[in-house]
Amino acid sequence: MEKVVIIRYAEIHLKGKNRSYFERVFAMNLERALRGIRHELHRTSGRYLVEKFPEGREEEIEERCLRVFGVHSCSIGLLVGSDMDALFEGVRLIAPQEGSFKVVTHRGYKKYPLTSMEISAELGGRLLESFPKLRVDVHTPENMVYVDIRENGAALVFCAFRAGAGGMPVGTSGKGLLLISGGIDSPVAGHMMAKRGLSLEMLHFHSYPYTNDGAKEKVFSLARILSVYTGCGRVCTVSVTHIQEEIHKKCAAELNVTLLRRFMFRIAERVAADLGCGCLVTGESLGQVASQTLEGMTSSNDVVRLPVLRPLVGFDKDEIIARAKQIGTFETSVLPYEDCCTVFLPEHPATRPKLSFIEEEETKLDVEALVEEALTTLERTSL
C-alpha cells in the first residue's frame, strides 16, 4: 500500500493514432511542474500516478499538477492490491468513521471477477461493520469513497476529485510570441492560448527613460506567474523610444498609437521568426480602447504575414479581470507603472483611421531603419 497522487487527463483521450505524442508531451510538462520534488511518474491506462515522493508532499504535488494544462482532475489516494481484503484495508484508512457515505467503483480492468456494484456493496458492508456510526446514503451522501480497479492486480482508492486546468498540453499546438505589456489583458491572453496547447515566448516593448525599470520588473513578475502554467522562463525586451520620438515629431498626433503598434508588430514578426514562433498573441479586446477598433486591428495586421491571435477579442473588461484574478496576475498588473503606449499619448487618438492615411503618414519615417535600430536593443532575460 502506497500513497499516490492520481492524475487524469482532459482532451487527450479524444486523440487518435497520435495520442501517444500528446501523452508524451503531457508527461514532460508534469515532470517540469514537479521539478525539485523527488518522485516517480508512471502511466497506466488513462491515468498518471505520482509515486515514491517524500512523506507529507502529496498536497503540494497535487497543487502543482492541477495547474498543468491537460489535467482534467487529480486525487490524493492509495495504491493497493485489488483482492477484496487489500481493497478494504485501503478503503478503511480513507473512509469516514461517522456520517453518511457511498462507495462508487470503477473497473478499468473489465476481467475482474466481481461487478462494480458487487464490489461497492461488499466494501460498504464491511465499512458498516467496522464503523457503527456510519450509514449508507446512495442519493445525497456526506462522504464519497471511490474505488478504481486497475490492471496488473492493482487498485486505487480515494475520497475526492479536484478539477484541473483542463485544455491541451503546452507544446502540442506549436509556439507563439506573446506581446506582453504590464497591463491586465496580455497575461490572460497568454494563459488562454497556453491552455490550447500553444507554447509561448514573450516580448515586451519599453520606452526607457520615459518608462522606468520598475515597469520592466513588473512585466518580469507577470512572466514568472505565467511560467507556472506555460513553462516559459524567458522574456525578450525591445526599446521603442526612438520610434516614438520620431512618430511624435513627424506624424499626425492622432496616429501616435496606431503607428507605434504597426512598428511593434513588424518588430515582433522579426523576433518571432528568430525564435521559431508561428503566430503572434496579443491581449486586444474589440472596442476596449481607441487602438483596438476593427480598423486599428486591421492596420496592425497589415504589416505582418504571421497570424495574430487575439483570444480576448470578444471579452469585456470584467470578464478579463475575473480571469486575471483566477490565474494570479491581477494584483501585479494593477501596480502603478506606465507602459510604452502611454508615452506621447494624444488627447484624441484616431479610432477609425483609414489605412491610406496611415500609410501616407508612415512615408515620413524611415521605417526599415527604425525597425533595425530597435532590434539592436533586443535583450533576452531568463527568469
What percentage of the chain reaches a pLDDT higher than 90?
83
- Nearest Cα neighbor of 280 from 289, 288, 271 is 271
**pLDDT value, residue 61:** 98
Residue pair 364/250 in contact (Cβ under 8 Å)? The answer is yes
pLDDT of residue 202 exceeding 80: yes
For residue 17, what pLDDT band results from cuts at 50, 70 and 90?
A: confident
Query: What is the distance between the alpha carbons of residues 144 and 138, in angstroms, rounded to a whole number?
Result: 10
**pLDDT value, residue 344:** 66
Quote the cell numbers at residue 262.
504597426
Helices (H), 276-329: 294-301, 317-327
Query: What are 354-381's pLDDT values in tens digits?
Result: 999 999 999 999 999 999 999 999 999 9
Residue pair 316/286 in contact (Cβ under 8 Å)? The answer is no
Quote the cell numbers at residue 359.
500609410
**pLDDT value, residue 36:** 96
CA 124 to mean position of chain CA atoms: 40
Query: What are 63-88's pLDDT values in tens digits?
Result: 999 999 999 999 999 999 999 999 99
Residue pair 167/195 in contact (Cβ under 8 Å)? The answer is yes
For 175-206, b/e burial (b = at least 16 CB within 10 A) is bbbbbbbbbbbbbbbbbbbbbebbbbbbbbbb
How confident is the model over 220-233, as a mean pLDDT? 90
Output 232 or 28, whichever has higher pLDDT. Answer: 28
Query: What is the distance between the alpha carbons of residues 293 and 301, in angstroms, rounded to a whole number?
Result: 12
How confident is the model over 6-25, as a mean pLDDT? 90
Least confident of 10-19, 57-66, 100-109, 236-245: 10-19
Q: Give the angle subtended at the CA of 221 by the CAs of 281 and 205, to the nearest 5°.
A: 45
Query: What is the distance between the alpha carbons of residues 188 and 321, in angstroms, rounded to a whole number?
Result: 9
Query: What is the distance between the alpha carbons of residues 102 and 137, in angstroms, rounded to a whole number?
Result: 6
How confident is the model over 269-277, as a mean pLDDT? 97
How confident is the model over 300-318, as a mean pLDDT? 96
For residue 302, what pLDDT band results from cuts at 50, 70 and 90?
A: very high
Query: What are 139-151's pLDDT values in tens digits?
Result: 999 999 999 999 8
For residue 46, what pLDDT band results from cuts at 50, 70 and 90?
A: confident
Q: Tell me how far apart the terminal alpha carbons of the chain are, to the nearest angstrom.
A: 40
For residue 288, what pLDDT band results from cuts at 50, 70 and 90?
A: confident
Query: What is the distance between the alpha carbons of residues 196 and 112, in angstroms, rounded to a whole number?
Result: 37
Residue pair 113/77 in contact (Cβ under 8 Å)? The answer is no
Residues 6 or more apart whose Cβ sits within 8 Å of residue 252: 357, 361
pLDDT of residue 211 exceeding 80: no
**pLDDT value, residue 31:** 96
**pLDDT value, residue 338:** 67
Question: What is the average pLDDT score of the chain?
Answer: 93
Domains of the chain: residue spans and CATH: 2-163 (3.30.2130.30), 175-382 (3.40.50.620)
**pLDDT value, residue 326:** 95
**pLDDT value, residue 355:** 93
Residue pair 349/186 in contact (Cβ under 8 Å)? The answer is no
pTM, rounded to two decimals: 0.90
What percentage of the chain reaches a pLDDT higher than 70?
98
Q: Give the angle subtended at the CA of 166 by the CAs of 138 and 117, to the nearest 5°.
A: 25
Residues 6 or more apart whose Cβ sits within 8 Å of residue 267: 203, 205, 238, 240, 371, 374, 375
**pLDDT value, residue 214:** 83
pLDDT of residue 210 exceeding 90: no
Residues 6 or more apart whose Cβ sits within 8 Å of residue 42: 48, 49, 51
For residue 274, what pLDDT band results from cuts at 50, 70 and 90?
A: very high
Quote the cell numbers at residue 134.
456510519
pLDDT of residue 118 exceeding 90: yes
Q: What are phi and psi of 369, to 5 degrees?
A: -65, -40
**pLDDT value, residue 285:** 95
For residue 342, what pLDDT band results from cuts at 50, 70 and 90?
A: low
**pLDDT value, residue 87:** 96
